[in-house]
Amino acid sequence: MQVSRRAFLTTLLLAPTLTVAVSPTVAAAPAVGGMDLGDVLISAGRPTEHLLVVLDVRTDGTVGLVLPRAEVGQGLTTSLAMLVAEELDIAVGTVEISLADARPELLFNQMTGSSNSIRSMYWPIRHAAAGARARLIAAAALRFAVLPQDISLMDGVLTASDGRTTGIGDVATAAADPLLKIIPSEPKPSDQFRVIGTSARRVDARAMVTGSFEYALDLDVPGAMPVVVRRAPSIGGKVADVDKGALAAMPGVIDVAVIPTGVAVMAETFGQAIDAAAAARVTWTSGPVDAENDETIRGRLRSAVEPFTTTGELTAEFDFAFVSHAAMETNSAVADVRSDSAEIWGSMQAPIVAKQVIARVLGMPVGAVTVHVVSGGGSFGRRLFFDAPLEAAQISQAMGRKVRLMWTRVDDLRHGRARPASHHRFAVRTDGTDVASFEHRTAAVATDFSHGFGEILTASGSAASGRSVFSRTVATPYAFGDVIETLREVPLPMNTGSWRSVFSATSRGAAEIVVDRTAAALGFDPVEFRRSRLTDSRHRAVLDAVAAESDWGRQLPDGWAQGVGFHAEYRSCVAYVVDLDATDPDRPRVRRAVVAVDVGKTIDPSGLEAQMLGG
């Protein structure tokens, strides 16, 4: 992670105990090397940056932070708790982070995505915590009648030079006095870090392993009854007719409603709702892509690829299928819609847009809709879309009851969002010893960015299209002469969405295979070929590290091989070496994977390791 240093003023908020926020005093320096997607989100959110962070030091010694981001298993709450703990010199476990409801006043500043959460909140949180520390020290100095310089803070305890002590909770009320004289405090220099850069146990680990962690369907919303939706057999199909009477007569069924995406069935239990929905007699309309199949879509993509500008000695083609996010927790939401208000609970990465759309669909003012963000069991981009919260709201309005909606795994695989199918063509021209030109032409089914990211791109001066995202994420890191990388999107009325790394997983994965083939054609070792053409010293260092750690080039058993790959994105870079056992060609196995990564300043090494192990 690389973040630009910014100056902030700490703002004391009116509250009975110490509550602080921050305001930027200077503009951020322009990003070096052009703006990536994370920079775009940060830039779009800058007008409301001063509203992002609110810290609350409580009388029991705990510290609260209301987070305008989503926690979907990536460990964000742990890393941000570490930032607070670092500046306040308290235990990470005493920082309690809750997820903020949708806050429209934040404009573009409540979307979780594009690897920007740590980058956007690193300095604001640290400045807010440093400001809180200064006020706590000043309050303790006043209590002990000493100078602030005579007070130290460690492990949540304020100690005077004469040995007297008090806890931060004991002075939290006094520290909120607006007349308190303080010595302005800056965040710690890195050589004084005690928490940042050390591995921490996840703040939610115990709750997860003991089963007490609450996802949307675990919430205690009295009166919310189980609901599932019977969906069309084809994408985009609608209900033409349904035998509601037969459904209502089934065991446990409470209510039935038709919504735009299917037939909603409420029952006493989820099992009864699932059985009834499966048995429902429904007539469906045709979907808009019923005539399409794998071959027709592949043909559309092949026809859409832009032609090469030159002839290459080495060419290659790759096809990637649609891929579901398949998060461990399927889509779910709870809704309570009344005649003049609505309350929604669910895991959402774009809650402001969810609130606005749900209000419009329900025919209510935005202010009448409350959207509560709940932690999610995985996302990988899936929860940028809020189809479950929207459906739950529609069902609750139609039935006049509180609902607890669950998508089945089949629902998510058939009707959820998917990484778009894509076709890739490469042409590499060489002069016999080096690469003269490298062309990568891509065609993909259009990615849906209607979850709010399109508006952010537009507000930042970019086109709201997949091409804008592609151009900021897909880049060959090697000196390959003339490099051309393009995307042409094919519009199809299908449920697509950003799938972890958006375009990089397919585009850069295919490109690295072509790099291997090019190295072989020119007679180079794959690692040395890459290293000699990487132009960034950080990139070379990562490749060197993975080659050394993996013992690249060592003698391997018959049927084994080593493979290497490198990628740079979001101001970070990573290289992998895998040992592949193909002694049984029909059942190849990865026996070992070694990874080297440079993300700049690492907050939580154990969290980074988990990210790398997860791919």
* Mean pLDDT for all residues in the chain: 93
More reliable by pLDDT, 456 or 135: 135
- State residue 8's pLDDT score: 55
Q: Are both 356 and 373 inside the same structural domain?
A: yes
**Once rounded to an integer, what is the mean pLDDT over residues 471-484?**
94
Neighbours of 398 (CB within 10 A): 16
The residue-averaged pLDDT of 1-16 equals: 58
Q: Residue 365 is encoded by which pair of tokens?
A: 């003012």
- Cβ-contact 134, 184 below 8 angstroms: yes
**In a domain? residue 469:** yes
Same-domain pairing of 447 and 567: no
**What average pLDDT does range 402-425 have in this prediction?**
96
Residues 80, 158 within the same domain: yes
The answer as to whether 398 is a domain residue is yes
pLDDT number for residue 274: 98
Q: pLDDT tens, 542-570?
A: 999 999 999 999 999 999 999 999 999 98
Question: What is the DSSP-derived secondary structure letter of residue 406?
Answer: E
pLDDT greater than 80 at residue 85: yes
Q: Based on the domain organization, do 144 and 280 belong to the same domain? A: no
| 309 within some domain | yes
Q: How confident is the model at residue 10 (pLDDT cuts 50, 70, 90)?
A: low
pLDDT band at 61 (very low <50, low <70, confident <90, very high): very high
Whether residue 40 is contained in a domain is answered as yes
Tell me the per-residue pLDDT of 91-143, one tens digit each, with 9 for 90 and over.
Answer: 999 999 999 999 999 998 999 988 889 999 999 999 999 999 999 999 999 99
Q: Which is more confidently placed, 345 or 9?
A: 345
- Closest alpha carbon to 489 in 454, 446, 450, 447: 446
pLDDT of the residue at 390: 98
pLDDT of residue 40: 83
Q: Are residues 230 and 353 in the same domain?
A: yes
Backbone angles phi, psi at 562, to 5 degrees: -110, 145
Averaged pLDDT for residues 392-420: 97
Do residues 483 and 553 share a domain? no
pLDDT at 33: 53
In a domain, 30, yes or no: yes
**Residue 464, in any domain of the structure:** yes
Cα separation, 75 vs 21, whole angstroms = 23
Helix axes 37-45, 117-144, angle to 10 degrees: 50
pLDDT at 515: 99
Average pLDDT, stretch 193-204? 96
End-to-end CA distance of the chain: 17
Ramachandran assignment for 378, one of left (phi > 0), alpha (psi -120 to 50 degrees), beta (any other): left
* Between 38 and 219, the higher pLDDT residue: 219
DSSP 546-598: HHHHTTTT----TTEEEEEEEEEETTEEEEEEEEEE-SSTTS-EEEEEEEEEE
DSSP 424: E
In this prediction, residue 30 has a pLDDT band, given cuts at 50, 70 and 90, of very low
Quick one: pLDDT at residue 28?
Answer: 46
- The verdict on residue 496 lying in a domain is yes
Average pLDDT of the residues in 557-585? 96
pLDDT higher than 80, residue 9: no
Task: Label the pairing between strands 95-99 and 63-67.
Answer: parallel
Check whether residue 307 and residue 197 sit in a common domain.
Answer: no
Per-residue pLDDT tens digits for 503-548: 999 999 999 999 999 999 999 999 999 999 999 999 999 999 999 9
Q: Which residue has the higher pLDDT, 314 or 49?
A: 314
**Domain boundary, last residue among 491, 513, 535:** 513
Measure the CA–CA gap between 391 and 216, rounded to whole angstroms: 14
State what percent of residues in the chain have pLDDT above 70.
Answer: 94
d(CA 257, CA 265): 7
The tokens for 245 are 């009477």
CA-to-CA separations, 117 to 66, 68, 194, 205, in angstroms, rounded = 14, 10, 22, 20
Beta strand 560-569 with 572-581 is antiparallel
Give the pLDDT confidence score for residue 31 in this predicted structure. 47
How confident is the model at residue 357, as a pLDDT? Answer: 97
Confidence band of 466 (pLDDT split at 50, 70, 90): confident
CA 491, 494, 498 angle in degrees (round to 5)? Answer: 85
Give the number of domains in the chain: 4
Last residue of a domain, one of 482, 513, 544: 513
User: 497 with 615, same domain?
Assistant: no
Statement: the pTM of the whole predicted model exceeds 0.85: yes
Is the model's pLDDT at 227 over the cut of 70? Answer: yes
Indicate whether 180 and 51 sit together in one domain: yes
Is the domain of 109 the same as that of 236?
A: no
pLDDT above 90 coverage of the chain, percent: 83
Write down which residue in 144, 172, 207 finishes a domain.
207
469 and 549 in a common domain = no
CATH code for position 569: 3.30.365.10
Q: Is residue 213, in this structure, part of any structural domain at all?
A: no
Rounded to whole angstroms, the Cα distance separating 142 from 151 reads 10
Q: Which domain holds residue 231?
A: 223-286+327-415
Indicate the pLDDT class of residue 29, thresholds 50, 70 and 90.
very low
Model confidence pLDDT, tens digit, residues 243-299: 999 999 999 999 999 999 999 999 999 999 999 999 999 999 999 999 999 999 999
Show the tokens assigned to 260. Answer: 């735009």
pLDDT at 149 over 80: yes
- Nearest in space to 285 (alpha carbons), one of 262, 251, 253, 314: 262
Same domain, 273 and 388: yes
Is residue 25 over pLDDT 60? no
Q: What is the mean pLDDT of residues 408-413?
A: 95
Over residues 427-442, mean pLDDT? 96
Taking residues 18-27, what's their average pLDDT? Answer: 66
- Average pLDDT score over residue span 156-171: 98
